[in-house]
Amino acid sequence: MTSELFFAYVIATLIVLAIPGPTIMLVVSYALTQGRKSAVASVLGVGLGDATAAAASLMGLGAILATSATAFTVLKWVGAIYLVWLGLKMWRSRPTALGPHQVADVPPRKIFWHAYVVTALNPKGIVFFMAFLPHFIAPHAPVVPQLALLGTTFVALGVLNAAAYAYAAAALGQKLRSPSLLRLVNKVGGAFLISAAAMTATLQRSAN
């Protein structure tokens, strides 16, 4: 693989990642209400979820999802239902006033697993790898090392992108102290997650 081809892949990946999807909506929702302590957990969950999707794609699952309407539909609705559950839970929560150094008490491990499940169960992500990566493969070089490099690069850039969103949202969340404002943030965050569920539920099998 030439350096020019790899650079083009990095630019294309950054553009794709910059568009907020279900994963970023989840990361932002947690960061707004939980603060910076959620950032590490959610970003690690996103990284592992992306790695799982990439590995599944490289092992052939992407090809299966691209040809099987049933497999795609099952993953799509599992992910959508999970996002709705998270969104409703956040919408109904009743926050209390936060002190200068207090944040809502949600265990980091739960945030981590929520981010992982939402990212790993996004079928479009799996199909995306199968459709996107081959465009940046040099035909006369070994394929496996190239796929490994491209997959690893995507995961690393995805982690950086999620971290940028998380810390920006956490910085905004630190300015919110009153219960009424926190309640509004929870409702906005819940609406984001439910919107993400709608996006997931309406995904088509084509990797567009």
Q: What is the dihedral of CA 91, 93, 96, 98, to 10 degrees?
A: -70
- Specify if 4 maps to a domain: no
- Dihedral of the alpha carbons of 43, 45, 50, 53, in degrees to the nearest 10: -170
Q: Which of 52-56, 167-171, 178-182 has the lowest mean pLDDT?
A: 178-182
pLDDT at 180: 64
Assess whether pLDDT exceeds 80 at residue 202: no
Give dist(CA 125, CA 44) in Å, integer.
Answer: 17
Which phi and psi (to 5°) does residue 2 adopt? -80, 160
In a domain, residue 7? The reply is no
Residue at 2 is within a domain: no
pTM for the complete prediction?
A: 0.66
The pLDDT value recorded for residue 176 is 55
Task: Retrieve residue 7's tokens.
Answer: 């650079």
According to the model, what pLDDT value does residue 48 have? 94
188 in any annotated domain = yes
Residue range of the domain that includes 165? 22-93+104-201
Q: Average pLDDT, stretch 57-72? A: 69
Domain count, the chain: 1
In a domain, 197, yes or no: yes
Q: What percent of the chain has pLDDT over 90?
A: 11
Is residue 181 a part of any domain in this protein?
yes
Q: What is the pLDDT of residues 11-24, one digit of tens each?
A: 878 877 776 777 88
151 found inside a domain: yes
- The average confidence (pLDDT) of the chain is 75
Domain-located, residue 186: yes
Q: Token pair 């490099």 is at which residue? A: 149
Compute CA distances 114 → 29, 36, 83, whole Å: 12, 16, 9
Note the pLDDT tens digit of each residue in 90-143: 677 665 444 433 444 678 889 899 899 988 887 667 766 766 676 777 777 787
